[in-house]
Amino acid sequence: MKLSPENEFIIKLLTSFFGRGALEIEEGPPWSLLDWNKMIAIGKHQNLLPIFYQVLSRQGFWEDFPAQEREKLEDSFWDHTALTLLYDDALRVVLKSFQQKGVPSIILKGVSIALEFYHPRESRPYTDLDILIKESDFDKAKKILMELGFRISNPEGEGIRRKYFNSVSFSKTAAHQIDLDLHWETFLISWNERAFLGSHKVWENIRWIECSGLRLPVLQPYMLILYLALHFALHHHFGKLLSLCDLDRIIGKSGDKIDWDELIQEAIAAKIKKPTYYSLRLARDLLKTEVPEGVFKALAQNRLEERLLPFQYLVFRKNPLPPNIERFFKFWLIEGFQGKVKSLITFFRQLNAKKWSH
């Protein structure tokens, strides 16, 4: 993938943050001709501005950076730093209430990844809390959240979210709005009936981490990698570099704790070879993430298809994809004819349900 100067510089910022060499910038025209507005727009859309701030302010380039963009980076970093404190407090209260009322839970993405894999943790921003529960505990968890002042973000759509998306969004407004999503499965269950996050294997192998006074239940490394790869491909349509950074950090810092054989077997069994392969391939090609070659051989995809896909456009976006293109990529990622047919049936049932709910 041949990158534009701006996209190449973004990758240099990220790999420098990971400790893979100091950031080097040529003096003269190359520096001055970079489109900073474009890079800031990409960074803002993809939640990368705190990382940009860390690298530029610590490696001696801060004063050379355009003043207007410098202010945007600084404001973004301190805004997210303040926001992490609010989310930490909210998470403590929710987890304590869940534990007291007997609701098992696992923290997904965001806060747990920031605490375990990023230094400083404020460089990894998050704007919501994602908590995995058992489907049978949803009503109990919902009651607890309501008692804590949370409300369902879209009450009219609760039934549709529960039936087709396996998650429901909540929010609470205090000093700042706190968003929280309860999950019990991924939405791939809409075309693949095999349990993924809701499997017994996940709940019987909870991993505990202790960071910043928080004791958090999290996924095993191989399952976390699979979940993030799936989320990056199906939810973000390969347009969230921060997800690639997460994959890089987890793979780089977990080392031999990752059961790559188990990851391959689960990807094949859950029929998510394609999102897993392309997510890990992009992490390797862009960030130099060290993924065993055997993983790519086991999950190999069509080489012609790989060459034709517009990955640079998808990865370095500053805006969401149009809805129809989003649907195309989700449909393309589904493995097998039967899964594609089931996904179409689910899609039209969902549309019909929305029509009757209004």
Q: 112-116, 145-149, 301-305, 340-344: which range is least confident on average?
A: 340-344
Give the model confidence (pLDDT) of 131-155 as tens digits.
999 999 999 999 999 999 999 998 8
Residue 19 has pLDDT above 90, yes or no: no
Q: Which residue has the tokens 């969004």?
A: 169
Residue 294 has pLDDT above 90, yes or no: yes
Cα 165 to Cα 329: distance, rounded to the nearest angstrom: 17
Ranked by mean pLDDT, the top range of 70-74, 76-80, 188-192, 226-230 is 226-230
Domains along the chain with CATH numbers: 5-357 (3.30.460.40)
Name the token pair of 179.
């968003």
Q: How confident is the model at residue 190 (pLDDT cuts 50, 70, 90)?
A: low
Sign of the dihedral defined by the CA atoms of residues 166, 101, 176, 155, in that order: positive
Range 299-324 average pLDDT: 85
Angle of helix 5-17 relative to helix 273-287, nearest 10 degrees, comes to: 90
Give the model confidence (pLDDT) of 99-137 as tens digits.
999 999 999 988 899 989 998 888 898 889 999 999 999
Q: How confident is the model at residue 358 (pLDDT cuts 50, 70, 90)?
A: very low
Give the model confidence (pLDDT) of 229-273 as tens digits.
999 998 898 999 999 999 999 999 998 899 999 999 999 988 899
Of 197, 193, 183, 163, nearest to 342 (Cα)?
Answer: 193
Contact 332, 23 (CB under 8 A): no
- List 173's β-bridge partners, or say none: 177
Q: Name the residue type at position 60.
A: G
Range 278-282 average pLDDT: 95
Give the model confidence (pLDDT) of 201-217 as tens digits.
899 999 998 876 778 99
Contact 83, 127 (CB under 8 A): yes
Q: Name the residue type at position 120.
A: P
